[in-house]
Structure formats: C-alpha cells, structure tokens
Amino acid sequence: MTKFVFVTGGVVSSLGKGIASASLAAILESRGLKVTLIKLDPYLNVDPGTMSPFQHGEVFVTDDGAETDLDLGHYERFIETRMGKVNNFTTGQIYKSVLEKERRGDYLGKTVQVIPHVTNEIQEFVMRGATATDVDVAIVEIGGTVGDIESLPFLEAVRQMSLKLGPNNTAFVHLSYVPWIAAAGELKTKPTQHTAQKLREIGIQADALLCRADRPIPDEERAKISLFSNVPEWGVISMWDVDTIYKVPRMLHEQGLDGLICDRLRLNTPPAKLKRWDDLVYETEHPQSEVNIAMVGKYVDLSDSYKSLIEALRHAGMRNHARVKIGYIDSETITSENIGQLAKFDAVLVPGGFGKRGIEGKICAARFAREHKVPYLGICLGMQVATIEFARHVAHLTDANSTEFDPGTTTPVIALITEWKDKDGTIKTRDEHSDLGGTMRLGAQSSDVAPGTLAHQIYGDVVNERHRHRYEANVNYLDPLRKAGLVISALTQREHLTEIVELPQSVHPWFMGVQFHPEFRSTPWAGHPLFNAFIAAAMVHRDHQAAPDHPVAVANLKVVA
Ligand code: GLN
C-alpha cells in the first residue's frame, strides 16, 4: 500500500518547498524506496500552459505532453520516477471535473458543495497520481501558503485522507520561515509558531517542521519552536540558505528527516546513501575551468523562466568539469551595430520563446554566431530564428520569416502546418494529426537522425525529445535551404516535421538548432548529450580564442555521453 507524505508551506511563498519535497524524495529513494511526487496548485487556471513565465516561471513539459508547474522539473531532476499528466493538478482542473460531473447528472440532484464534492475530487486526483506508478511513498506538495483561502480545500482533502488511511500511512511536513532581524540581531520564531498553530486549527499536526532561514537555527530557538508548535524537537529541522541545491538532501538527512518519516510510516529500509549527492557538490565546487555562454532571450532577469535550461547548462558544465557562466542578453537591445558584444562569449544560445518581441535581435545573434564560427545552439524558437537567418542571408530568401512574427510574409519558412500550402492551395502534408496546425505540439516524439551529421554523433540513430510549440519549418522551403547548405539532420517520417537543423562541420565547428526542448531531459547525473556536446564545443572555441595560432581541432570535439 502506498504511504503519503503531505508537504505544506507557511508564512511566505518562495521558500523552496519544491526543492525540499524533491530532496526528501531523493533521500527516500536512496533508502531503496520507490517514490513519486505530486504537486497541487491552488489556482483556477486549468494548467500553467497559458500563464506568463514572468509570473509563474517556466512551463515544464512531461513526456506525455502535460504542461506543468516548474517544480515537476525539480522532481524529475532529483528522482528516478518520471512525471506525467497525473503528477500535477490545479484547482481549475478539479472544478472543471466537478462541473462536468454536475452537468452529466452524476451527483443525482444533490447540492454540489466544496465539502464533500470538491474535496472528494481532490482525493481522487491525488490517488490517481499516487497509483499511476507502483510506489512505496507518494510525496504530495500543496502549493500556496497555509491560511490562504485558495489552498483550504486541498488541506481539508489531505486531512481527510490522513484520517482514512491512518497515522502509520501518512505524515505531514510543514515548511516555514524564521527571519533574521538585523536590528535585533536575532532569529525570530514567532511566524513559525503561528503557522504551525494555523495548521492545527485546520486539523493538521505537522510531524516535521522545516525551518527556512538564512543561517542554521541554534538549538535554543529550535526548542522554542518545538514547545509552541507541538512538534518534538528532533522534528524541528533547520534548512538554511546554501549556494547549491544539491546540498539540501544531505542537510535534511543529517538532521534525521528521512529517519523520522520512515519511523512514522513504519518503513523498514537500509540507511540512506547520499554519496552521489556529495559527488555533485564536489563537482560544483571544484571546476577546472570556466566557460561563458551568451543567452539571448526575452525574460532576461528572471532565471525561473528558463529554469530547466539553466540547470541543463550547469549539468553539462559539471560533465565537462567547467563552471558555466551565463550572460543574459536582452534580445530587444541587440542590433547589427552592437552585435560585436557577443565576441566575448564562448558560445551563443537562443532559447525557446513566443511572440515577435526581440526577434530581429535573435536573428542578428544567430547570424553573428554563424559568420564568426561561434558555437550556436538554438532551442525551439532558437532553431526557427537560425532557419530564418540562414534563409535570408545564405539562401537569398530575403523576405524569409515566420508567420508568427509576420503573418503576411511572402516567404513563410516557418509556419503553422495548416499554412504549408501548395500553389493550388491544398495542404501539402497531412495525416491523422493534421489538427496539430492549430494547437501546440506537446510531449515526447521521435524521429530518425541522418547518419554522418553532428546530431548523429550526439543522438545516434533516433532522437526522442519533448516538444512545446505551434510553428514548424515549412516543408516547402526545405529544398532551397538544403541547396544553400543547411543540413536537415532529423525530419519526422510521416509529417516531415523538421526536428534538427545544423551546418556541416566543414563550414562551421558547431551550429545546431533543435525544434524540441532537450533541457527537460537533463539530469545532474548524466547531464544531456546535446548540452554536454555544446559546452564541450564552447570550451574548444574558448581555447582557440586564447591561442588562435593553434587550428581548431574540430575532430577533437568531445561528445560526453
Ligand atoms: N513560438 C514558437 C512556436 O510556437 C516557438 C515556441 C518555443 O520556443 N517553445 O513554434
């Protein structure tokens, strides 16, 4: 039978509940348990797919095509179990489901209410997520802060679950905040006392309190928190600021969090083995060199918007024993006059994005990287701008554009599938998935990779990656692009959707655009072969810049699998 750990949060948001939940899951996994994670989001949006990354951070995409909260990215990076549609749901989805049942008459004329109908629905969704894979423990992270109106139905639902399942099958972990008041020179425990009390008012007694602070919390304060919160002292765990998230599993383990949870849930397991986490920390703290990547994007000052991408670059850095420094460049400020600023970087990356803003700056960046033989990786939108740039400046298709940025372009090298028309107006490629044209292409899909290409060195015969986009390279322009020298290294067989474009290595040492999002598959253990290769290419470029007399050893480009 699956056991549950419910993780709630108090006082303020952004304390790192996702990392705390993922870390606990990772420690339990290292004790030989099978673990999954579920995230409940207390907002009314049906999914985060339509929410601005400025507000909500990145939209993480799973293999089965769910657009989810970015915490699911942490989960997949921390544990082995893969996430899917059932691992994240919102109040919006719960209400949608309840209202559909109501319309169908499923409630047999009863008055439909928050308790029990909404709370029952929440429990069903939690059970569905927990039983989708065969696991020993499901960790359920409840978004929002205790005391908010929004999260009340979730808290009520999990309280009922713990009553039904019994005390040895459920545990509660509450994340709180202990501020340092500089004027008084003291850590203040009052907000934590109050949030634990608030939780008890709702009927939930925390088994462990994770106390976030900018520094370790001394025993005296921990004792005080214990007294007021009714949590035994060994359950009051200090969670201080650290420079890398990989330190969190060891920090929580050293203070006995996993031992406490296993006791509570009557789980008899071998001790935790955290050596792989210690190795990660060592690797992060002992880089042998540094590499500078220019990231030319739109959401420049909000690293949450590119969470998985930044992690993937870091992972690839660790695999290459290098510290990756990312220079964020706002594509709206780039012009052909100031593009020379990119020369100080070892590689250029244009990430995914939506809408027209800053597009010409990104095209300039792709051109600079192509002409100056700087390693270039274009992801999703970054592949599309590289294709447009190549079409304009190499294939002489001067009006080339995407219909996303210029609906009236005479040369739609990037367009919706439904816009790929032959001269007689019929859609050139079509099969049972032709409705893709109006909607997002989401989730994992595979395609063959052409032998002899850079992509083939990285992926082998088949590429399988996750997608999240609407526009595609227009099949009608592939021939002129190929003639001008662009290599289409992966193309889906049936629909002729371009997955990877690159320049031959005889022309450019490392230039690649991918229509998918490889960053969602990167892990701290192995990195991701594409990012590993990109960072290796950046290092070769860096070394060549430092000693230009030595020819670039293209053949030596190291692909770290
Ligand atoms: N806006 C582009 C599209 O919809 C690219 C999307 C992305 O980069 N995720 O196709």
Distances in Å between the Cα of 185 and the Cα atoms of 108, 182, 188, 223 are: 61, 5, 10, 19
Q: Do the beta carbons of residue 67 and residue 441 sit within 8 Å?
A: no
pLDDT digits (tens, 9 = 90+) for 498-524: 999 999 999 999 999 999 999 999 999
Q: How far is residue 333's CA from residue 234's CA, in Å, rounded to a whole number?
A: 53
Q: Do the beta carbons of residue 375 and residue 304 sit within 8 Å?
A: no
Q: Look at 40-49, 236-245, 361-370, 473-482 and tell me which has the smallest mean pLDDT.
A: 40-49
Rounded to an integer, the average pLDDT of 480-501 is 95
Residue 415 CA to ligand 1 center (angstroms) comes to 11
Cβ < 6 A, ligand 1 pocket: 352-354, 380-381, 404, 468-471
Q: Do the beta carbons of residue 279 and residue 254 sit within 8 Å?
A: no
Rounded to an integer, the average pLDDT of 137-151 is 95
Mutation test residue for ligand 1: of 298, 356, 380, 515, the one with most atoms within 8 Å of CB? 380
Angle between helices 190-201 and 219-229 (to 10 degrees): 30
DSSP string for residues in 428-476: SS--TTGGGGGS-EEEEEEEEB-TTSHHHHHHTTEEEEEEEES-EE-GG
Residue 469 CA to ligand 1 center (angstroms) comes to 4
Q: How far is residue 390's CA from residue 305's CA, in Å, rounded to a whole number?
A: 28
Could you confirm whether 262 is annotated as catalytic? no
Chain centre to alpha carbon of residue 541: 28
Nearest CA to 209 out of 184, 187, 191 is that of: 191
| Neighbouring C-beta atoms of residue 521, cutoff 10 Å | 22
Per-residue confidence band for 550, with pLDDT thresholds at 50, 70 and 90: low
Per-residue confidence band for 428, with pLDDT thresholds at 50, 70 and 90: low
| Mean predicted lDDT score pLDDT of the chain | 92
Nearest CA to 525 out of 258, 243, 253, 283 is that of: 283
Sheet architecture: strand order including 400-402: 400-402, 411-415, 472-473
Burial (CB < 10 A; 0-12, 13-18, 19+), residue 109, is exposed
Annotated catalytic residue within 311, 315, 380, 465: 380
Q: What percent of the chain has pLDDT over 90?
A: 85
Residue 470 CA to ligand 1 center (angstroms) comes to 6
Ligand 1 atom having least distance to the Cα of 352: 8
pLDDT digits (tens, 9 = 90+) for 305-337: 899 999 999 999 999 999 999 999 999 999 999
User: How confident is the model at residue 422, as a pLDDT?
Assistant: 59
Mutation test residue for ligand 1: of 50, 59, 381, 416, the one with most atoms within 8 Å of CB? 381
Ligand 1 atom having least distance to the Cα of 355: 1
User: How confident is the model at residue 547, as a pLDDT?
Assistant: 83
pLDDT digits (tens, 9 = 90+) for 242-274: 999 999 999 999 999 999 999 999 999 999 999
Q: What percent of the chain has pLDDT over 70?
A: 94
Q: Which amino acid is at 258?
A: D
Q: Which amino acid is at 267?
A: L
Rounded to an integer, the average pLDDT of 370-381 is 97
Q: Which amino acid is at 311?
A: E
Per-residue confidence band for 300, with pLDDT thresholds at 50, 70 and 90: low
Mutation test residue for ligand 1: of 299, 470, 497, the one with most atoms within 8 Å of CB? 470
Annotated catalytic residue within 456, 519, 528, 541: 519
Residues 472, 477, 482, 486: what is their CA dihedral angle, to the nearest 10 degrees? -40
Could you confirm whether 517 is annotated as catalytic? yes
Tokens 């209202």, residue located: 99
Beta bridge partners of 176: 211
Annotated catalytic residue within 253, 517, 528, 541: 517
Could you confirm whether 380 is annotated as catalytic? yes
Q: Do the beta carbons of residue 178 and residue 221 sit within 8 Å?
A: yes
Q: Do the beta carbons of residue 387 and residue 486 sit within 8 Å?
A: yes
- SS3 state at 495: coil
Residue 294 CA to ligand 1 center (angstroms) comes to 20
Tokens 């400020």, residue located: 333
Q: Do the beta carbons of residue 397 and residue 412 sit within 8 Å?
A: no
Burial (CB < 10 A; 0-12, 13-18, 19+), residue 435, is exposed
Rounded to an integer, the average pLDDT of 157-162 is 97
